[in-house]
Amino acid sequence: MKFKLIKFTIKGVPSNYIILHPSTAENQDLDPGSLLVTEDNTIGFRLITSASVDQGFAGLPPDRFNGESLIEGQDITLISAGVESLTKIIRRKMDKKTLSDREIDDFMSAIAHGLVTKSHMTAFGTAVEINGMHGDEITSVAQSIIKNSRKFSHSGKKVVDKHSIGGIAGNRITPLMIPIISACGLVIPKISTRAITSPAGTVDALETVMPVDLTFEEASEVLDKTNACMVNGATVELGSVADKFLEAVSPLKIDPKEMMIASILAKKKAAGSDFVLIDLPTGKGSKLASREDARSLAYDFSRIGNSLGQHIEAVISPGDKPVGSMIGPSLEMKEVMTILECSGGALSLKRKATSLAGLILEGVQQANRGEGQQMATEIIDSGKALSKFREIVAAQGGDASVTSNSIPHAPYSHVIEAEKSDIVYALDSYSIGVMARAAGAPHDSHAGVIIHVDRGDNLKPGDPIIEIRSHSEGKLSEAIEMMRTAPPIILEQSVLEHITGISN
C-alpha cells in the first residue's frame, strides 16, 4: 500500500512507530502493534492508528526524517513484515527443524530493526535452549549479527583478540594483555562488558582509571591512534543485535550456548579480528564444570570461527581458585597497575596474562613457538606495557599519569585473621565473589576483598586471611558475616562429613 509521509508527533510514542488512519489499518487487516516494512525491506515500523492522520497518509515522528533517507511528502510503499513469518520461524525451531540462512537472517534483521517483541525473542531463545542449533545455524546467526553491525576498519594491519568466558574472581588479564599485544605492533580492539553476576567486569575495573563508555566513532579514533582500545560493548554498539537478543532473554536465565558463541565471534569479526584466543577457565566455581565441556566448547568456537574466516585458538585454564589476589573494580585495577609498574601484584595474574599474550604472539608469528611468554614478560618488565597502557588511558580521555597509588580506596576495611594454627585447604572463587558483592562491588567501585593467603599456606594465630573494603559499615558487616555462612577460604579439615546412620 502506498502512503504519503508526513511528520506527526504523538507524545511518548517511540521513534520506530508509524501512524495510519484506523480505517486504513482495518481495511488492510492490520492490527495496531503489527510490523510494517518498506517495500525493499530496509526500514521497519510498528503500527499504531490515529484518526488524526488522514487516510492515504502515514505519520512518522519528526526525528525519523533525519538520517534515514526519509523525506516529508515522499510516497512510501509499506508491506506487512510478517509477524506471521517470525512465528513460523520460531515454530520450526520448536519442532526441532534446522533453520535456513534466510530464516535466521530474517529473524536477526527484524531484531535489528526493532521489530521483534521480547516475547518473540523469549520464545525463540527457549526453543534454541531446548532443541539446540547445528553449526551451520550458528554460523548464520553470526553472519547476520555481522551484517547488521558497523565494522572497525584497520587497513591491512594484523588484528587479534582474546575472550575469557567469565565467572572467575580476579581474572583481570585484559588490561595487562592489551598493552602487551599492542606494544608489539598488533592491533587489538577490545570490547568488554560490565559485571552481571561477578563482583567486577572488565569494564567496571577499567572505568576506575579512564572513560570506557565510548561511541563507535570515539573507539575508532583511539584504535587509529594507539592500535588498541578497551571499551564498553554497550556504548560502542558492535554487534548490537546480539545484545538486544541477550538483553531480552537473560532476565529469564535463558542463555543458549549457540547464541553466545555466535555473539562473541560475530563481535570479534565486526571489530576486524581474524585471530582470536578463547580462555576457558574450568573447574568447580567456574561456568565450565569439566574438561570435556570446555573441550567441546573450544571445538565449537573453532569450527564456527573457521566458517567466518577466523583462526581460533583456545586454552583451558584453571578455574578452581581466583587468579589475582584483589577482587572488586578498583582493587583489581590497582593490582593490574602494580604489575605494570613492576612493583608487586599477584604472580598468578602476571603469569596468566603473559602466558596468554605469549600464545597470541606465537600464533601470529611475532614470537617463535615456546618464546611468547618470555617476550610478553619482557614487555612488562621493560616498562613498555605501562607506557602503552597510559597511552590508551590518555587516548580514551583519562589521566595518563595514573599509578597504582593514585587509585582511591574505600573508607571502611576489616581484616579477618586466623584464630589458630591452620593450613589453607582451598580458595572458593564463587564464595569470594559473593563476599565482594556483599561488600558492595561492583556498584561501589572501591568495595571488594584482598586475599592474603594461598592454598597450602601454614597459618599462625593472628595471620591475616582476607581483607574486606567497603563504603558502607552495614555492607562491611554483611561481608564479614559471609566468612561464617559461605567461607571463601577453606581451612584444612580432617573430616569432611560425619554420617551417623540414617533414621527416618
Q: With CB under 8 A as the contact rule, which of the stretches 125-133, 233-241, 294-302, 314-322 interacts with a second copy? A: 125-133
Nearer to a second copy, 130 or 347 (CB): 130
Q: Which is nearer to a second copy, 118 or 384 (CB)?
A: 118
The answer to whether residue 289 forms part of the interface with a second copy (CB under 8 A) is: no
With respect to a second copy, which residue has the nearer C-beta, 171 or 445?
445
Residue 468 makes contact with a second copy by CB under 8 A = no
Whose Cβ is closer to a second copy: residue 118's or residue 257's? 118
Residue 125 touches a second copy, criterion: CB under 8 A? yes
3-state SS class at 98:
coil
Residue 46 cell numbers, joined = 510498528
Q: Which of 94, 234, 342, 394 binds a second copy (CB under 8 A)?
A: 94
What CA dihedral angle connects 275, 361, 380 and 386, to 10 degrees?
Answer: -40
Q: Which of 2, 7, 91, 97 binds a second copy (CB under 8 A)?
A: 91
Name the grid cell of 342.
Answer: 613492576
Site for a second copy in 194-253 (CB under 8 A): 248-249, 251-253
Q: What is the 3-state secondary structure (H, E, C) of 425-460?
A: EEECHHHHHHHHHHCCCCCCCCCEEEECCCCCCEEC
**Judged by CB under 8 A, which of 130, 196, 347, 423 binds a second copy?**
130
Nearest to 280 by CA among 304, 264, 259: 264
C-alpha cell at 330: 578498583
Rounded to a whole number of angstroms, the minimum distance from the CB of residue 86 to a second copy is 8
Kindly write out the interface string for residues 431-450 of this chain, putting x where it contacts a second copy by CB under 8 A and - elsewhere. ------------x-------
Cis peptide before 22 (omega within 30 of 0): no
What distance in Å separates the CA atoms of residue 179 and residue 449, rounded to the nearest whole number?
26
485 neighbors 479 (Cβ within 8 angstroms): no
**Of the listed pieces 72-80, 127-135, 280-288, 365-373, which binds a second copy according to CB under 8 A?**
127-135
Q: Is 38 in the site for a second copy (CB under 8 A)?
A: no
User: Is position 119 an interface residue for a second copy (rule: CB under 8 A)?
Assistant: yes
Q: Does 484 bind a second copy (CB under 8 A)?
A: no
* Residue 26 makes contact with a second copy by CB under 8 A: yes
Interacting stretch for a second copy, rule CB under 8 A, among 128-136, 187-195, 217-225, 423-431?
128-136
Q: Measured in whole angstroms, how far is the alpha carbon of residue 1 from the centre of its chain?
A: 42
CA distance linking residue 51 with residue 349, whole number of Å = 65
Catalytic status, residue 255? yes
**HEC assignment per residue over 105-154:** HHHHHHHHCCCCCHHHHHHHHHHHHHHCCCHHHHHHHHHHHHHCCCCCCC
Residue 97 binds a second copy, judged by CB under 8 A: no
| Tally of CB atoms within 10 A around 151 | 13
3-state SS assignment for residue 169: coil
Q: Distance from CA of residue 43 to its chain's centroid?
A: 28
Shortest Å, Cβ 127 to a second copy:
6
- As given in the structure block, the three cell numbers for residue 36 are 510494517
Residues 384-395, buried b or exposed e (16+ Cβ, 10 A)? bbbebbbbbbbb
From 76, 104, 115, 127, residue interacting with a second copy (rule: CB under 8 A): 127
Q: Does 477 sit near a second copy (CB under 8 A)?
A: no
Quick one: 2 or 443, whose CB is closer to a second copy?
443
Decide whether 185 or 474 has the Cβ nearer to a second copy: 474
- Residue choice 5, 30, 35, 90 for contact with a second copy (CB under 8 A): 90
Task: Indicate the burial class of 78 (C-beta count within 10 angstroms; 0-12, 13-18, 19 or more).
Answer: buried
Catalytic-labelled residue, pool 136, 224, 255, 457: 255
The size of the interface with a second copy (CB under 8 A), counted in residues, is 28
| Residue 415 contacts a second copy per CB under 8 A | no
Instruction: Tell whether residue 122 is a contact of a second copy (CB under 8 A).
Output: yes
Catalytic residues: 255
In the complex, the residues that contact a second copy under the rule CB under 8 A are 26-27, 83, 87, 90-91, 94, 117-123, 125-127, 129-131, 248-249, 251-254, 443, 474
